[in-house]
């Protein structure tokens, strides 16, 4: 934490703490001018669930008019990039599918381009929704599990036997990948545990403990991996924020100078930490989501952003 | 651990290590004579799944002939005492329902006789199977959730709203109790999380990480509580072995002298630890289950039993 604080202070220009930009037009312009690339968290920054925050389309357009490169970085594993593009369209926010970088895509890229397991022993057993499946497909990674309705059934007495003797297992599975799964089942957990005990790699799109929705908090993707962590004692490699594996994948795709990039987010322990640990030129915290300014103002605090605004639309001045 | 080791050595009669009883008739008789009460773990001791170990009914009968009090202590939360009695009958082991003490019963007793919450604000939201429900009923504790088929359905978009605004919650729920649940659902997790965030007490029948079955390991009751622990950051109070809350409940019911009682089990970190920390006069480890003798023989080991046998039937000499 001490090291992180030091890095954060360095980034924010010394120990003077984060810069408050709301209402300060000249500081806003100077801040924006420092960067070529803006990485955006989505939920809590652009919108909350289905509620769009004020002046978001205009703010995004303003950055485009200044020729900034935009990347929308989300830990939501249930949606593919194509799903996200639809959400942006529905919200009236100008965006391209190629600008979206989700944790499911990050996991698919990690599996296909970094792990590069030899076919046919490269199949992924998925605990998650269609967003994970679509992104694995886009990277030509074979998978099973996921939304297969056959796995939503009850665990039968003979399943214990057939999992124990391996006859219910797919010989080609080499990876267990968990994302947020709205359809958990004991059968899925038992299969995932059996693959892990057999030596499969354990990956997670992300391990967010909570999912903000409807103004409250619900179980996040971390709740999907938790039963497997408890049952096996193994920890997954998380491919979402704040994992730097995700930053490397983003950088590999978009090729930018980290010092000219700024991470914008609402969560200190995911978004801002992601940008600080990634050595980005700056981080901007918006107060429309999870973290409150009291968490980073004052002495002896943890992760500190370079700057903050009450809401993203304040960047319009 | 050092303290535990000291206690264990004291119990086992100094630093000479655990006594190996198999084949040593006079030592067996002397060991049995020391105790009035035998607490038995079941799975891994009497049977493994549906496989009865050799000479179990005869061994149990021999102890009855010597007028020993027997208590069958199990962490299995899916079965009630009545269910267990049926299992004993089917195996041909002489036993009475009153001699069975399961973790679901332990939890029910803890709620009704120790917590004693004021009705109607004493309802329990259950994540678990009918064993939990039956034992709550036997102690006249109101509950919801559990095997209710309505909670096995898909989480719908409006559920997020109705859980967030409280309209889907039962005002009387004051406790969330998790046992092994073969029918997990996101809806159940979301409701459990909402109750905990609202201040409900968090209890678990037990938090065993694994469930031995068919010669392999499957997710245990700990896998049911894990998503809620991850999502809320709260830890449940576990009412199964090795929690001393269970020992107190057993003692409260059977009223015996701990120094004249012996715990018999196959797992060092649950059964034997349960007996050692409970200050029982002795502990007997059987090698037909999870733990191996290498784990407690030699120097610098953790929990150590007073004595051990290859299998329980060896007590017949």
Tokens representing B21 are: 């009883």
Strand partners, A177: A126, A203
Q: Which residues of B touch A167 (CB under 8 A)?
A: none
**Which residues 110-169 of A have a C-beta within 8 angstroms of B?**
154-155, 160-161, 163-165
Residues A219, B190: C-beta atoms closer than 8 Å: yes
Q: How far apart are CA B14 and CA B16, in angstroms?
A: 6
Evaluate whether B243 touches B275 at the Cβ level (below 8 Å): no
ipTM: 0.87
Does residue B204 register a pLDDT over 90? yes
User: Nearest by CB to B164, which of A182, A216, A224?
Assistant: A216
Residue B150 DSSP label: G
Evaluate whether A125 touches A170 at the Cβ level (below 8 Å): yes
What are the Cα distances from residue A135, in Å, to A29, A104, A211? 37, 6, 21
Q: How far apart are CA B220 and CA A228, in angstroms?
A: 10
Task: Please classify residue A286 by burial: count the beta carbons closer than 10 Å to its beta carbon, then call 0-12 exposed, 13-18 middle and 19+ buried.
Answer: buried
Higher pLDDT, B6 or B40: B40
A171 is catalytic: no
Of the candidates B5, B42, B38, the residue with the CA atom closest to the CA atom of residue B304: B5
Evaluate whether B135 touches B81 at the Cβ level (below 8 Å): yes
Q: How far apart are CA A298 and CA A118, in angstroms?
A: 52
How many CB pairs below 8 Å do chains A and B form together?
120
Residues A218, B183: C-beta atoms closer than 8 Å: no
Q: How far apart are CA A156 and CA B87, in angstroms?
A: 19
Catalytic residues of B: 41, 43
Tokens representing B160 are: 């997020």
* DSSP secondary structure of B53-108: PTTHHHHHHHHHHTT-EEEEEE---SS-HHHHHHHHHHHT----GGGEEEHHHHHH
Q: Tell me the mean pLDDT in the region B285-311.
A: 91
Residues A189, B184: C-beta atoms closer than 8 Å: yes
Q: Tell me the mean pLDDT in the region B241-258.
A: 91
Q: Which residues of A are annotated as a binding site for substrate?
A: 241
Residue ranges of E strands in A109-249: 123-127, 143-145, 173-178, 201-204, 210-213, 216-219, 237-238
Distance between terminal CA atoms of chain B? 34
Q: Which residues of A touch B218 (CB under 8 A)?
A: 160, 163, 190, 193, 231
User: Best residue in B212, B213, B217, B227 to probe A by mutation, most A CBs within 10 Å?
Assistant: B227
Does residue B15 register a pLDDT over 70? no
Tokens representing A200 are: 């499969």
Helices and strands counted in chain A (H then E): 11, 16
Boundaries of every domain in chain A: 2-75+242-316, 117-238
Q: How far apart are CA A128 and CA A236, in angstroms?
A: 14
Q: How far apart are CA B297 and CA B275, in angstroms?
A: 18
3-state SS track over A84-144: HHHHHHHHCCCCCHHHEEEHHHHHHHHHHHHHCCCCCCCEEEEECCHHHHHHHHHCCCCEE
Q: Which residues of B touch A193 (CB under 8 A)?
A: 217-219
| pLDDT at residue A16, rounded to an integer | 67
Catalytic residue among A29, A33, A36, A41: A41
- The structure tokens 């995004």 sit at A60
Count how many Cα atoms sit within 13 Å of the Cα of residue B33 in the half-sphere of its side chain. 6
Residues A186, B184: C-beta atoms closer than 8 Å: yes
Tokens representing B154 are: 């898909």
Q: How far apart are CA A241 and CA A272, in angstroms?
A: 9
Digit-coded pLDDT (tens) for A147-190: 999 999 999 999 999 999 999 999 999 999 999 999 999 999 99
Residues A216, B184: C-beta atoms closer than 8 Å: no
User: Nearest by CB to A226, which of B161, B214, B230?
Assistant: B230
Q: How far apart are CA B49 and CA B94, in angstroms?
A: 18
Digit-coded pLDDT (tens) for A125-150: 999 999 999 999 999 999 999 999 99
Any idea what the Cα angle at residue B206 is, between residues B205 and B209, rounded to 5°? Answer: 145
| pLDDT at residue A17, rounded to an integer | 86
Evaluate whether A170 touches A144 at the Cβ level (below 8 Å): yes
Q: Tell me the mean pLDDT in the region B1-27.
A: 67
Shared fold status for A2-75+242-316 and A117-238: yes
The CATH superfamily holding the domain A117-238 is: HAD superfamily/HAD-like (3.40.50.1000)
Q: Is A71 on the interface with B (CB under 8 A)?
A: no
Q: How far apart are CA B242 and CA B75, in angstroms?
A: 9
Helix B130-138 vs helix B81-91: crossing angle, to nearest 10:
120
Q: How far apart are CA A40 and CA A22, in angstroms?
A: 18
Of the candidates B177, B161, B153, the residue with the CA atom closest to the CA atom of residue B228: B177
User: Nearest by CB to A218, which of B160, B184, B210?
Assistant: B160
Average pLDDT, chain B: 93
What are the Cα distances from residue B82, in Å, to A80, B71, B131, B138? 49, 14, 9, 11
Place B292 in a pLDDT band, splitting at 50, 70 and 90. Answer: very high
Evaluate whether A281 touches A262 at the Cβ level (below 8 Å): yes
User: Nearest by CB to B223, which of A163, A218, A227?
Assistant: A227
Residue ranges of E strands in chain A: 19-20, 37-40, 47-48, 51-52, 69-74, 100-102, 123-127, 143-145, 173-178, 201-204, 210-213, 216-219, 237-238, 261-265, 282-286, 307-309
Handedness of CA A84, A89, A92, A96 (dihedral sign): positive
Q: Is B215 on the interface with A (CB under 8 A)?
A: yes
Give percent above pLDDT 70 in chain B. 95
Residues B230, A214: C-beta atoms closer than 8 Å: no
Which of A67-81, B13-27, B235-249 comes out lowest in average pLDDT?
B13-27
A41 is catalytic: yes
Helix/strand/coil percent split, chain A, to 5: 40, 20, 40
Count how many Cα atoms sit within 13 Å of the Cα of residue A220 in the half-sphere of its side chain. 20
User: Nearest by CB to A189, which of B154, B185, B223?
Assistant: B223
| Chain A residue nearest residue B50, CA to CA | A157
Q: Which residues of B touch A155 (CB under 8 A)?
A: 182
- Which region, left, alpha or beta, applies to residue A233 given φ > 0 means left and ψ of -120 to 50 means alpha? left
Q: How far is A230 from chain B (nearest CA, A)?
A: 6
The CATH superfamily holding the domain A2-75+242-316 is: HAD superfamily/HAD-like (3.40.50.1000)
Give percent above pLDDT 90 in chain B. 85
Peptide bond into A242 cis (omega under 30): yes
| pLDDT at residue A249, rounded to an integer | 86
Digit-coded pLDDT (tens) for A241-273: 999 999 988 998 888 999 999 999 999 989 999
Chain Cα centroid distance, residue A83: 15
Residues B218, A182: C-beta atoms closer than 8 Å: no
Distance between terminal CA atoms of chain A? 34
Strand partners, A206: none
Q: Tell me the mean pLDDT in the region A31-45.
A: 96
Residues A193, B218: C-beta atoms closer than 8 Å: yes
| pLDDT at residue A215, rounded to an integer | 85
Q: Is A52 on the interface with B (CB under 8 A)?
A: no
Q: Is B182 on the interface with A (CB under 8 A)?
A: yes
Q: Which residues of B are annotated as a binding site for substrate?
A: 241
Residues B231, A224: C-beta atoms closer than 8 Å: no
Average pLDDT, chain A: 93
Q: What is the CATH number of domain B105-238?
A: 3.40.50.1000
| pLDDT at residue B14, rounded to an integer | 46
Chain Cα centroid distance, residue B68: 21
């Amino acid at each position: 934490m001490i090291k992180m604080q030091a890095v954060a202070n360095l980034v924010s220009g010394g120990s003077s703490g984060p810069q408050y930009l709301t209402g300060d037009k000249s500081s806003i312009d100077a801040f924006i001018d420092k960067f070529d690339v803006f990485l955006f968290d989505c939920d809590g920054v652009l919108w909350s669930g289905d509620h769009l925050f004020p002046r978001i389309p205009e703010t995004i357009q303003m950055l485009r008019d200044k020729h900034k490169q935009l990347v929308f970085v989300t830990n939501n594993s249930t949606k593919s990039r194509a799903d996200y593009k639809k959400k942006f369209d529905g919200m009236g926010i100008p965006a391209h599918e190629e600008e979206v970088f989700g944790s499911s895509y990050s996991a698919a890229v990690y599996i296909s381009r970094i792990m590069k397991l030899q076919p046919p022993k490269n199949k992924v057993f998925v605990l998650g929704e269609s967003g994970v499946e679509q992104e694995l497909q886009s990277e030509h990674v074979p998978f099973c599990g996921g939304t297969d309705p056959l796995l939503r059934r009850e665990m039968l007495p003979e399943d214990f036997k057939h999992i124990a003797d391996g006859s219910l297992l797919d010989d080609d599975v080499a990876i267990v990948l968990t994302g947020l799964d709205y359809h958990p089942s004991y059968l899925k957990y038992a299969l995932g545990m059996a693959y892990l005990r057999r030596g499969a790699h354990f990956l997670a799109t992300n391990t967010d403990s909570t999912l903000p929705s409807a103004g409250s908090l619900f179980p996040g993707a971390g709740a999907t991996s938790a039963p497997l962590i408890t049952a096996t004692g193994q920890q997954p490699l998380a491919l979402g924020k704040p994992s730097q594996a995700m930053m490397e994948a983003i950088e590999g795709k978009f090729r930018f100078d980290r010092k000219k990039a700024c991470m914008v987010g609402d969560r200190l322990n995911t978004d801002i930490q992601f940008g600080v640990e990634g050595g980005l030129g700056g981080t901007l915290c918006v107060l429309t989501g999870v973290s409150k300014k009291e968490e980073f103002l004052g002495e002896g605090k943890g992760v500190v952003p370079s700057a903050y605004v009450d809401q993203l639309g304040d960047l319009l001045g």
